[in-house]
Structure 1
Amino acid sequence: MDRRHCLVTGANRGLGLEFVRQLLARRHHVVATCRHPGKATALNTLAGEYPGRLHVLPLDVAEPRSHAELARELALVTDGEKLDLLVNNAGVLRGSERFGHVQPADLEASFRTNAMGPFLLVQTLASQIADGGTVANISSEVGSIALRQEFRTPSYAIGKAAQNMATSLLAQALESRRIKVVALHPGWVQTDMGGEQAALTAQESVAGLLQVIDHLDEDDSGGFLDWQGQTLPW
């Protein structure tokens, strides 16, 4: 498999960390970002095991100023090479919300992290993404308007629905450069967010997601797919 340059956000745990592991196993070069690299013990351990192929950089996806700082650092650690894959994985979920008690701060945090952040990050890094590359926005079926049948996690659902629109708009903005932009539902995964009762391990989910990414073509750009490649309704 050709070596590629990849960037993963929210890479200190869960799906993000597993993306890093599996991309490294494929012999790719990986830039892993998180808010507090000094506290990312597992990532820093991996960086020691893969010198020169894993770089851990700070990024708060909800803060646009952090995007510009990442762009500057990225050019240094990739030696000017373009990104073949950007995985927008960082997200936030506020659980246990009840109608009548949903807090403005939770809605705002979800929008900034789950929708605004990924959109603005791609906009900032666009010139550093290779023509024909891929942007994978880790979304959720919870953000599907068509599939909603109950009042559940409204801040998260609204943020992910907005992220899905961002995916569609980015796909159109980057179409001329053949950059594929997709929204991907990882399934119900055993992470801090998904809980121990979830159906999939992080390893299973990421392996499936990478297979989907591997087989994307330009017609898939702007689409909403799950970890098995099935199309989901908006």
Structure 2
Amino acid sequence: MPIDTTLRCLVTGANRGLGLEFTRQLLARGEHVVATCRHPGRAHALNQLAGEYPGRLHVLPLDVADPKSHAELVRELPLVLGRKPIHLLVNNAGVLHSGERFGTVDPAILLDSLRINAMGPFLLTQALAPLLAGGGKVANLSSELGSIAGVQTFRSPSYAMSKAALNMATRQLSKALQGPCIIVMALHPGWVRTDMGGAKAEVEPADAVADLLRVIDRAGRDHSGKFLDRHGEPMPW
């Protein structure tokens, strides 16, 4: 009986931007992908991909900020994956509230950023932990704006604070999951030309994801808990 070498991957925020590009590239190289987003019915690009890759792409609803949605995803996954574990979790879903000015930072926006960008990936990984394969990997999409050492100006405080919190969540998860040898990393993709990054960004999504997948593929136990750029180089905390 042939050995199944296909990886089973779960990507959050997969309806656009980097999440959609992760889904495309993982499918193109033969992997089995569960792509999640808040409103699958509106995810036209994802649903088109599902038609192109029948049986290898499943689009499921997920609100990363809602633990009840995490629990529902955990209940649904065995229906599409059977008893097979997840080899790669890409915590990509995130939010950036632009236009913040000191003196008028909205507490609701700050809380929303923390819930989606930091608490969501941490709690989702915790919920999915029993379904992660031993030796599997968790990639948390972070940002250079989450680097405390790199702060030069007052810029996007809600996003920056939430990504710094995600970096700490990455370290915590790396310790919690070291028993089953699950590698957890925080990855900075660069300034990418997406809806979030804007038209002036330097890096195409396809290039950013190709680079990040090379970093993920090569990562060993020594990389767990690290904050790396898209070339695998350490980022300052």
Name the count of aligned residue pairs.
234
1:46-103 per-position Cα deviation (integer Å, ceiling 9, x unaligned) = 0011000000000000000000000011111011110000000000000010000100
The partner residue of 1:174 within 169, 173, 177 is 177
Distance 2:30 2:24 in 1: 10
Deviation at 1:36, TM superposition (A): 0.2
The residue that corresponds to 1:138 in the other structure is 141
Q: Which amino acid aligns with 1:69?
A: E
* Matched position secondary structure for 1:197: coil
The letter of the residue matching 2:142 is S
76, 96, 105: which one aligns with 1:73: 76
Q: 1:12 maps to which residue?
A: 15
Q: CA deviation at 1:2?
A: 3.2
How many angstroms apart in 1 are the aligned matches of 2:79 and 2:6? 18
1:1-234 equivalences in 2 (<5 Å): 2-234=5-237
Letter in 1 for 2:39: H
> Counterparts of 1:93 and 1:140 in 2: how far apart (Å)?
11
Amino acid of the residue matched to residue 90 of structure 1? A
Please state how far the C-alpha of 1:3 moved relative to its aligned partner. Answer: 1.2
Partner SS, residue 19 of structure 1: helix
CA shift, 1:176, in A, is 0.9
CA distance, structure 2, for counterparts of residue 91 and residue 42 of structure 1 = 19
Query: Structure 1 residue runs of 4+, over 3 Å off?
Result: none
Give the distance between the partners of 1:148 and 1:80, measured in 2 at CA: 45
- DSSP 3-state at the match of 1:176: coil
CA distance in 2, matches of 1:68, 1:81: 18
User: What's the TM-score, normalizing by structure 2?
Assistant: 0.98
Q: CA deviation at 1:222?
A: 0.1
Secondary structure in structure 1 of the residue aligned to 2:195: coil
Letter in 1 for 2:201: A
Deviation string for 1:161-197 (max 9, x for gaps)? 0000000000000001100000000000000000011
Shift of 1:126: 0.2
State the distance in 2 between where 1:80 and 1:57 align: 17
Task: Report how far residue 4 of structure 1 moved.
Answer: 0.3
In structure 2, distance between residues paired with 1:77 and 1:2? 17
Q: Secondary structure at the match of 1:60?
A: coil
Listed as ranges, the gaps of 5+ residues in structure 2 are none
Distance 1:139 1:2 in 2: 29
Give the aligned residue type for 1:231. Answer: P
